Amino acid sequence: MNSMIDLSAEALRVRVTQHLTYTLGKDKPHASLHDWRMAVSYSVRDLIIEPWFAATRKTYEAQGKRVYYLSMEFLIGRILADAMMNLGLLEAVKDVLDSEGVSIADVVEDEPDAALGNGGLGRLAACFLESMSTLQCPAYGYGIRYEHGLFRQKFENGRQVELPEDWLNQPHPWEFERPEARYTIRFKGHVGIVDGRPVWHPSETVFARAYDMPVVGWQGKWANTLRLWGAHPTELFDLERFNSGDHTAAAEPEALARTLSRVLYPEDTTDSGKELRLKQEYFLTSAALQDILRRFLSEYDDLALLPEKIAIQMNDTHPALAGPELMRLLIDDHGLDWDLAKRIAAGCLNYTNHTLLPEALEKWSTWLMGRVLPRHMQIIERIDQEHQSVTQCTADLGIVRHDQVEMGTLAFVMASHVNGVSALHTQLMKETVFAGLNRLYPARIVNQTNGVTPRRWLRLSNPALSSVLTQTIGPGWEDDLGRLADLGKHETDRDLRDRIGVAKRQNKVALSNWASDQLGISLDPDAMFDVQIKRMHEYKRQLLNVFETIARWSAIRANPQGDWTPRVKIFGGKAAPGYFVAKEIVHFINDVANTINNDPVTGDLLKVVYPANYNVSMAQRLIPAADLSEQISTAGKEASGTGNMKFTMNGALTIGTLDGANVEIREHVGAENFFLFGMTASEVQDRYQVDAHARQAILSSQPLQDILQMVVEGRFSPGDADRYNGLVNSTWNHDPFLVASDFDSYLACQAEVDRAYADPDHWNRLALRNIAGSGFFSSDRTIRGYMADIWGAESLP
């Protein structure tokens, strides 16, 4: 491997030993796994510093455009293995550790996941950072240094229980605290007028302090910075209260300030309208913009140049206060007039939309916004007035409607470009939620289909397949993923198809061993591994999958000697703590698993596994071992999906609807290599108009009637037959995501999947075609698209 880092194993050993000795203060005989991990992490981190400095230097020299990616979430997962891989150090580190009798796998596993995100949106931001570094695009990620990332999930009697996650309760070797990079963030108070200009007199302040992490790209040529903000009190301690004996109250200002970066909100769609969340969003946005302006003004003195030198990407509406905040800074702090400030702000800002679900579109009451951010409320109102008068639009296209600030409209109006995340989603944006705004601002909406980094999601997580790929098409596909298409030329090579099958089996054996260790369940690696991993959501239709599982179970029981294709159904995902129905579905899956796994009749023909606490690291384990990828959302509801792309790259076949990026995946891998079922987005719209659509569908499907009957009889909840009455009742009478209407189509399609799997060589051929067609879904392609169409940014050589 042509690593950029030229380092002998001996030199590496010296570095690790030095850190163990002088940074950790341990000698080898007493070093714990944690000590080894820290020593290795510091040694690897040291090697990123040079490319990191070099990248900064080159960016200054070139006076190139900088990209700022603002996101409330960066779901980065583990860092060490990814950094070692990108630096080409995996082998060398393994050798050093081996000779010390330490397993590199154990060291890697010792690292906690940085779970600073909920799901796809946060993981996308993490893939983008890695691709921007790989492409040598000068960029910063800005986010929040949550002390507690996404909650840890456990199951108690099948029910989800949330535990606090505590990843920072140990030293974090990848961050550099920057006490000098500190900004005051203001809240509340009132706005007065001084010399005819508005002046904000805030009544609360906190400091935002920077913590930097280098993000190194493929082959260590470049590293960008992920700058996370931690909240700190502006007054440390109330000594007066302390001296008067009220010790708890004395610590209150500090505790209050720190809550701003304490926890990640676990709602992955509906925003809860909470004041603390609004403050967090402003905390991130204001700190980022103050930092951006400070850096800009250290190099240039004309603020009018801002749009030429920087591009800001708002990851969903969560940082949409960037519009009003940038204007406030330009006007109130830098003395620009309104019109110029607005032109500058609009020239810098761009907005990515990730959902069309109406309940997920962020809104803040004008009352709350006016109380927490009085100056911003004024600015928003004036932006709205101008937007409405310039476009002559009707009030329903305004930013403030029914005493609420519509953040999607605010972001749209203030952005140069607004993008969707798959071709279908962008089309639907134009036709539905943003149809009106699209008419007022034509050509503002563009598409950038999501992608994922093939370094983490293929090379790192699937070494078995990666070596088959390199043997077949040669090295270098990792940063030129389109080259996977070359596999197509070798489709007729039986030996290659076999080796793809062997690599998959190896991953399945590894997963089976893990399942046996961790879950105490034994899996047959020759069964089909059928995987649905994602946040628990009605629109993602885990329920459809469970219903099919039950149908399969019944069918096998009715004819245990039949020619069945053995399956392992694997589920993974967390439900938002306040999302009652999603939590019910979690419970239901566990109950169904319990019943089926203990049935001697079906035995190894059907198993259901639902490991608790699905996260990035678990995804890296499950995806390479998957045969079948479940992408079964109601058409029109999943903006893109990114897990779907990871599975395809790893040679899993997809069973899916024409939703989000599934549409493009199917185009790229070929329709005959994709298991399609269900209604299209437009058929879905029509179906909602049909009276009692669910009842009709159920009455015409004997299998579905039987399933619902078994559920109400308590087959999966012995002694508590009523447990799932709510779910069953809702399926009959509401079925908001058309599980019933798509059920028969799904069942038939699953039967087709069984037939295909029964011929292993045929299946391997389909897998090969999926891998070959997945090159488009590298986040490098996506980032090139953003650079060219949205940011006007260039790679620096």
Enumerate binding residues for ligand NBY (CB under 6 A). 118-121, 124, 265, 267-269, 271, 354-355, 360, 362, 421, 450, 638-642, 660
Active site residue 642: yes
Six-digit token string for 126: 């993490």
253: Cβ contacts below 8 Å, ≥ 6 apart? 233, 235, 236, 237, 238
211: Cβ contacts below 8 Å, ≥ 6 apart? 145, 175, 176, 177, 178, 227, 228, 229, 230
What helix, strand, coil percent values describe the chain, rounded to 5? Answer: 55, 15, 30
The residues pairing with 419 across neighbouring beta strands, listed in sequence order, are 352, 446
How many CB atoms sit inside 10 A of residue 178's CB? Answer: 12
Q: Which of 643, 365, 652 is nearest to 508 (CA)?
A: 652
Q: Which contiguous run of DSSP H or E holds residue 237?
A: none
Active site residue 541: no
Q: Which is nearer to ligand NBY, 36 or 364 (CB)?
A: 364
CB of 255 to ligand NBY, least distance (A): 24
355, 595, 642, 731: which is the annotated catalytic residue?
A: 642
Q: Which is nearer to ligand NBY, 15 or 540 (CB)?
A: 540
The residues pairing with 725 across neighbouring beta strands, listed in sequence order, are none
CB of 356 to ligand NBY, least distance (A): 10
Q: Could you give the CA distance from residue 255 to residue 215 in angstroms, rounded to a whole number?
A: 31
Q: Which is nearer to ligand NBY, 285 or 764 (CB)?
A: 285
Q: Is the dihedral of CA 470, 476, 478, 481 positive or negative?
A: negative
Q: Could you give the CA distance from residue 622 to residue 718 in angstroms, rounded to a whole number?
A: 31
Active site residue 646: yes
Active site residue 540: yes
Q: Which is nearer to ligand NBY, 355 or 453 (CB)?
A: 355
CB of 408 to ligand NBY, least distance (A): 11
Reduced to 3 states (helix: H, G, I; strand: E, B; else coil), residue 566 is: coil
683: Cβ contacts below 8 Å, ≥ 6 apart? 635
CB of 272 to ligand NBY, least distance (A): 8
Determine the residue with CB nearest ligand NBY: 120
Q: Which is nearer to ligand NBY, 360 or 623 (CB)?
A: 360
CB of 271 to ligand NBY, least distance (A): 4
Active site residue 355: no
Q: Which is nearer to ligand NBY, 120 or 158 (CB)?
A: 120
CB of 457 to ligand NBY, least distance (A): 14
Q: Could you give the CA distance from residue 681 to residue 700 in angstroms, rounded to a whole number?
A: 22
Q: Which of 531, 788, 785, 772 is nearest to 665 (CA)?
A: 772
13, 459, 646, 765: which is the annotated catalytic residue?
A: 646
Residue 427 exposure: Cα atoms within 13 Å on the Cβ side:
13
Q: Which is nearer to ligand NBY, 288 or 428 (CB)?
A: 428
Distance of CA 383 to the CA centre of its chain: 31
376, 534, 569, 668: which is the annotated catalytic residue?
A: 534
Q: Which is nearer to ligand NBY, 113 or 638 (CB)?
A: 638
Q: Could you give the CA distance from residue 349 to residue 444 in angstroms, rounded to a whole number?
A: 12
148, 459, 540, 637: which is the annotated catalytic residue?
A: 540
Q: Is the dihedral of CA 404, 405, 408, 413 positive or negative?
A: positive
Active site residues: 354, 534-535, 540, 642, 646
